[in-house]
Structure 1
Amino acid sequence: MERLISILKIGPVFKYFVRVFKKDKNGEFPTSSNLRMMHGINKISIVMFLICIGVLVYRAFFRG
């Protein structure tokens, strides 16, 4: 049971979201142009996903 709980932990996922949307002021993570592009594309995809979730919720409640 403990192994299943450790597999299903989603804390690192939220830490990644915070890291993507926050500037690295301490030089803690490596940077390169490819990595910055990847994080930029991830930002766009996260925002699009949240917009789509909002549209689905809207349709579910207001279209009946």
Structure 2
Amino acid sequence: MRLAGVAPNVVNSRRPDTEVLASALDFAGSAPARSRARTLGEAIRAEDGVADAIATLERIVAS
């Protein structure tokens, strides 16, 4: 998700840092991150994951 620009770097839950967490929340609420998330969501909704999975399984079984 980070590489897609819709999530910040991972926050270490074992050693929480208020500055890092605040930065992550700021990033998540930013207009650019929200816009990229909206675009990514539209692309994911347009996919037919079940059909793709079935086609992959059929290719594996046939080989």
**TM-score > 0.5 by shorter chain:** no
Q: Which has the larger radius of gyration?
A: 2
Q: Normalised by the size of structure 1, how large is the TM-score?
A: 0.34
Q: Normalised by the size of structure 2, how large is the TM-score?
A: 0.34
Q: Name whichever structure is richer in helix by fraction.
A: 1
